[in-house]
């Protein structure tokens, strides 16, 4: 399967990409809808679907153009089948089905999280091919919709080790930003403001579960931030300036501590030498640094994609589809590709 054109529309990015042999990214086009959803403080599902349908054809055309490909250069069409917003997924799925049908190409459905975990293998033509993680390794998917740890035993063999019990980490960043009136998506804004704050200003504690293994929880932290906001000037104003930076830095520090703590525990308990960090929250510089340092203390190496392939994109989907083993993960079994449907909620190891 040499060249795969993939489409990704699981949330608010309309994306198309062409990837060769599962790793070489020839084009990578992402039309973001941030400006549209920003004023609502989060993604509005119907608006996401409506904007995908407007953007999808120009985005696919651009992906072909950037890669200097015509349809005769493409060997397969891949598409994100789930998990995600069903109305949004259906736009990409229908486009991919139609293209596969019209051009007589195979259609490869891909699990969105398999895509995030595969992003660590991608590179552009002028970049050297990354040395991937050894097997077995532990992988973390940390985004707006997911915070989970996996054991990846062999190519294509994944077992989920833990999950969040409530909010995803990215959701917590987004909610804290919204509580402080900072805009959407919260992650990059919080990270920027946190650079000027004191992470020790508030000592938010880590959640512990008696039976929880490496599970995550972010709703307690979110509530603690809300309580701090309410205490600020007797509920009459939102923290600003240095006060805001201190609160945001303390929140980010607690979120990062939790993500690092669980990942180090899981990696040690699984006895692995390599850890993969993927998903939108993996863009966060404080998380990347803290995770790398903490793992290094135990002789474990961190593999993390460049930020452009941490947030949603179609290169990770095309790469997964082009890699024999990776595309088995969460493939949902064999089905007639003309009849496949979107799957909104879908575990990676099912
Ligand atoms: O992977 P992604 O693009 O979409 C999902 O599959 O959810 O992740 C988006 C999430 C958002 O919650 C966003 O706030 C978060 O990733 N994010 C960040 C950063 N950049 C994006 N969180 C923390 N720090 C960042 N720099
Ligand atoms: Zn994602």
185 and 267 part of one domain: yes
In a domain? residue 59: yes
Looking at residue 265, its pLDDT comes to: 96
Q: Are 15 and 9 in contact (CB under 8 A)?
A: yes
Atom index in ligand 1 nearest the CA of residue 311 equals 3
Whether residue 330 has pLDDT greater than 60: no
280 and 315 part of one domain: no
Helix (H), strand (E) at residue 27:
strand 24-32
Looking at residue 141, its pLDDT comes to: 98
Give me ligand 1 centre to Cα 234, in Å: 32
- Ligand 1 within 6 A of 280 CB? yes
Tabulate helix, strand, coil % of the chain (nearest 5).
45, 20, 35
Q: Are 252 and 116 in contact (CB under 8 A)?
A: no
Q: What are phi and psi of 345, to 5 degrees?
A: -115, 125
C-alpha span between 278 and 42 (Å, rounded): 21
In a domain? residue 24: yes
Which ligand places an atom closest to the C-alpha of 283? 1
The pairing of strands 157-162 and 147-154 is antiparallel
Looking at residue 134, its pLDDT comes to: 95
The number of C-alpha atoms within 13 Å of 142 and in the hemisphere containing its C-beta is 32
CA distances from 317 to 19, 22, 111 (A): 9, 9, 8
Which tokens go with 279?
């998903």
- Ligand 1 within 6 A of 251 CB? no
Give me ligand 1 centre to Cα 334, in Å: 32
In a domain? residue 342: no
C-alpha span between 143 and 137 (Å, rounded): 20
Closest CA to 288 of 271, 270, 307, 273: 307
315 and 270 part of one domain: no
Number of domains comprising the chain = 2
Q: Are 227 and 174 in contact (CB under 8 A)?
A: no
In a domain? residue 232: yes
In a domain? residue 339: no
CATH code, domain carrying 68 = 3.30.420.40
170 and 248 part of one domain: yes
232 and 291 part of one domain: yes
54-58, 154-158, 344-348 — most confident range: 54-58
Q: Are 33 and 47 in contact (CB under 8 A)?
A: yes
From 271, 288, 304, give the residue that closes a domain.
Answer: 304
Which tokens go with 228?
């701090």
Q: What are phi and psi of 111, to 5 degrees?
A: -75, 130
150 and 299 part of one domain: yes
Q: Are 259 and 287 in contact (CB under 8 A)?
A: yes
36 and 21 part of one domain: yes
Expressed as residue numbers, the domain containing 86 is 3-122+309-328
Q: Are 107 and 77 in contact (CB under 8 A)?
A: yes
Q: What is the pLDDT of residues 162-218, one digit of tens each?
A: 999 999 999 999 999 999 999 989 999 999 999 999 999 999 999 988 886 899 999
Looking at residue 210, its pLDDT comes to: 82
C-alpha span between 113 and 144 (Å, rounded): 12
Which tokens go with 302?
């961190």
Q: Are 240 and 194 in contact (CB under 8 A)?
A: no
Whether residue 335 has pLDDT greater than 60: no
Looking at residue 333, its pLDDT comes to: 45
Q: What are phi and psi of 74, to 5 degrees?
A: -100, 135
Helix (H), strand (E) at residue 285:
helix 285-296
Q: Are 107 and 79 in contact (CB under 8 A)?
A: yes
186 and 300 part of one domain: yes
- Ligand 1 within 6 A of 283 CB? yes
SS3 166: coil
pTM for this structure?
A: 0.95
Work out the angle between the directed axes of helices 241-270 and 169-179 (0-180°, nearest 10). Answer: 170
Angle at 301 between CA 298 and CA 303, to 5 degrees: 145
Q: How confident is the model at residue 115 (pLDDT cuts 50, 70, 90)?
A: very high
Give me ligand 2 centre to Cα 186, in Å: 15
116 and 149 part of one domain: no
What is the dihedral angle through the alpha carbons of 308, 309, 311, 312, rounded to the nearest 10 degrees? 120
Between 128 and 335, name the one with better pLDDT.
128
For ligand 1, atom 18: residue with the closest CA: 187
Angle at 250 between CA 248 and CA 252, to 5 degrees: 70
- Per the prediction, the chain carries an average pLDDT of 93
Looking at residue 38, its pLDDT comes to: 83
Q: What is the pLDDT of residues 223-271, one digit of tens each?
A: 999 999 998 876 678 999 999 999 999 999 999 999 999 999 999 999 9
Q: Are 38 and 61 in contact (CB under 8 A)?
A: no
Give me ligand 2 centre to Cα 344, in Å: 13
Looking at residue 332, its pLDDT comes to: 47
Q: What is the mean pLDDT of residues 98-122?
A: 94
Looking at residue 211, its pLDDT comes to: 80
Q: What is the pLDDT of residues 9-42, one digit of tens each?
A: 999 999 999 999 999 999 999 998 888 888 887 8
């Amino acid at each position: 399967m040499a060249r795969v054109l993939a489409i990704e529309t699981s949330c608010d990015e309309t994306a198309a990409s062409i990837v060769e042999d599962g790793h070489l990214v020839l084009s990578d086009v992402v039309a973001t809808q941030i400006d549209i959803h920003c004023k609502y403080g989060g993604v509005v599902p119907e608006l996401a679907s409506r904007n995908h349908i407007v953007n999808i054809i120009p985005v696919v055309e651009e992906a072909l153009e950037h890669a200097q490909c015509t349809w005769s250069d493409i060997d397969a069409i891949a598409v994100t089948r789930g998990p995600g917003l069903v109305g949004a997924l259906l736009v990409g799925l229908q486009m991919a089905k139609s293209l596969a049908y019209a051009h007589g190409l195979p259609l490869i459905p891909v699990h969105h999280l398999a895509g995030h975990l595969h992003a660590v293998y991608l590179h552009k033509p002028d970049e050297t091919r990354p040395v991937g993680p050894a097997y077995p390794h532990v992988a973390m998917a940390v985004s707006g919709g997911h915070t989970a740890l996996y054991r990846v035993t062999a190519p294509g063999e994944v077992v989920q080790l833990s999950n969040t019990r409530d909010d995803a980490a990215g959701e917590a960043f987004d909610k804290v930003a919204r509580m402080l009136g900072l805009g959407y998506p919260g992650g990059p804004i919080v990270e920027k403001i946190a650079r000027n704050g004191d992470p020790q200003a508030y000592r938010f504690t880590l959640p512990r579960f008696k039976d929880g293994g490496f599970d995550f929880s972010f709703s307690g932290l979110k509530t603690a931030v809300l309580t701090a906001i309410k205490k600020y000037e007797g509920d009459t104003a939102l923290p600003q300036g240095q006060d805001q930076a201190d609160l945001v830095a303390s929140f980010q520090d607690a979120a990062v501590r939790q993500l690092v703590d669980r990942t180090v525990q899981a990696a040690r308990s699984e006895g692995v030498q390599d850890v993969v960090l993927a998903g939108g929250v993996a863009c966060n510089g404080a998380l990347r640094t803290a995770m790398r340092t903490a793992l290094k203390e135990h002789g474990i190496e961190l593999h993390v994609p460049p930020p452009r392939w941490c947030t949603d994109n179609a290169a990770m989907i095309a790469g997964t589809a082009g890699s024999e083993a990776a595309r088995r993960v969460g493939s949902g079994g064999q089905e007639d590709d003309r009849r496949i449907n979107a799957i909104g909620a879908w575990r990676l190891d099912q």
